[in-house]
C-alpha cells in the first residue's frame, strides 16, 4: 500500500477562489484554510453533478474518492489525494490541485501524418474541422502505460488526454467521476499497448490491490462509496487482468474512445 503523504484536505474551511470553466459538472477552485499552510484544491459538490443516463445520480464525487483509494492501495499513486467532505455547496469531493509543468507538452498529442516521433504510439486516425488528416498519439512511456492498467481496473469511462497532467511530482490523472461502474465501460485514449503483456510492476500492483480489498480493514470504506455490485466488479476486473496477464483490448457494443478525446 502506498505511503504517499496526503495534505489535510478534510480539515479547515473551503475558501472559494472561482469556478473552473469548461468542466461538464460544477468544479470550483478552492483553498483549504486551516491551522497549517493553505492547500489549493478542486471542490466538486454532488449538487452540481448533471444527471447521466448510465451512472446513478449523485455518485460522481464518491467515485472520485474511490478512484484515489484504488490508486493509492495498489501503489500507482496516480490520482491526487481526494477526500469526500462538506463544503459551501454541500458534500462533494475535494482533490489536491496539480500545478502543471509549463515546459511539458503533455502525454497525448494530435499530429499530422509523417510527423509522429519515434517515442509516441499512434492510436487513432481522423480529420480536423477542415477535413485535414490528423493522428491521435500518446507517449510510449512506462508511467503512462501504468495509468492504462489503472484505468482498466477502474473501468474508466472518460480517460481524455486533458485528464493527464505532468506536475512537479510526475504524471497524475484527474476527473475520475465516471469510473467503477459494474458494467464494462472502458473508454480511453491509451490503447497503444492493447493486448501486450502486463508490466511486472503492474502485476505486483494488481496483486497488492486485491490483498488490500480482500484482507485489510481500510478497504471497508469502499462499501460506503460504491454499491456491492461495483465492489465485486472491481475485484473481478482485477482478477481477470491477472489471469490474462495482458493489457485489455477494446470491447464491443461501447465506444472505445471518449469524445472529445482531448
pLDDT tens digits along 130-170: 889 999 999 999 999 999 999 999 999 999 999 999 988 88
Query: Does the pLDDT of residue 6 top 70, yes or no?
Result: no
User: In 3D, which of 25, 13, 21 has the Cα closest to residue 175?
Assistant: 25
CB of 147 within 8 A of CB of 106?
no
More confident residue, 260 or 84: 84
pLDDT digits (tens, 9 = 90+) for 27-66: 999 999 987 788 999 999 999 999 999 899 999 999 999 9
- Mean pLDDT of the residues in the chain: 92
Mean pLDDT of 2-26: 81
The proportion of the chain whose per-residue pLDDT surpasses 70, expressed as a percent, equals 97
Pick from 20-24, 51-55, 57-61, 208-212: least confident: 20-24
At residue 217, the pLDDT reads: 66
Q: How confident is the model at residue 261 (pLDDT cuts 50, 70, 90)?
A: confident
What gap in Å lies between CA 204 and CA 98, rounded to an integer? 27
Query: Does the pLDDT of residue 4 top 70, yes or no?
Result: no
At residue 2, the pLDDT reads: 47
Query: Does the pLDDT of residue 117 top 70, yes or no?
Result: yes
This model's pTM is above 0.95: no
Amino acid at each position: 500500500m502506498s505511503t504517499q503523504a496526503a495534505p489535510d484536505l478534510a480539515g479547515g474551511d473551503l475558501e472559494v477562489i472561482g469556478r473552473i470553466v469548461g468542466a461538464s459538472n460544477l468544479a470550483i477552485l478552492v483553498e483549504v484554510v486551516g491551522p497549517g499552510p493553505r492547500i489549493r484544491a478542486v471542490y466538486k459538490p454532488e449538487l452540481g453533478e448533471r444527471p447521466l443516463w448510465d451512472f446513478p445520480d449523485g455518485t460522481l464525487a464518491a467515485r472520485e474518492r474511490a478512484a484515489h483509494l484504488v490508486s493509492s492501495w495498489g501503489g500507482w499513486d496516480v490520482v491526487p489525494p481526494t477526500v469526500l467532505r462538506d463544503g459551501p455547496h454541500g458534500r462533494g469531493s475535494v482533490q489536491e490541485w496539480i500545478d502543471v509543468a509549463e515546459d511539458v507538452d503533455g502525454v497525448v498529442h494530435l499530429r499530422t501524418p509523417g510527423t509522429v516521433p519515434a517515442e509516441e504510439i499512434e492510436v487513432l486516425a481522423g480529420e480536423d474541422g477542415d477535413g485535414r488528416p490528423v493522428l491521435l498519439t500518446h507517449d510510449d512511456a512506462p508511467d503512462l502505460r501504468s495509468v492504462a492498467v489503472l484505468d482498466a481496473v477502474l473501468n474508466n469511462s472518460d480517460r481524455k488526454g486533458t485528464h493527464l497532467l505532468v506536475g512537479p511530482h510526475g504524471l497524475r490523472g484527474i476527473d475520475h467521476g465516471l469510473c467503477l461502474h459494474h458494467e464494462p465501460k472502458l473508454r480511453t485514449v491509451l490503447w497503444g499497448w492493447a493486448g501486450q503483456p502486463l508490466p511486472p510492476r503492474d502485476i505486483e500492483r494488481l496483486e497488492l490491490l486485491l490483498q488490500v480489498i480482500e484482507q485489510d480493514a481500510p478497504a471497508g470504506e469502499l462499501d460506503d462509496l460504491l454499491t456491492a455490485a461495483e465492489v465485486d466488479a472491481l475485484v473481478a476486473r482485477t482478477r481477470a487482468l491477472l489471469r490474462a496477464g495482458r493489457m485489455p483490448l477494446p470491447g464491443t457494443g461501447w465506444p472505445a474512445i471518449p469524445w472529445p478525446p482531448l
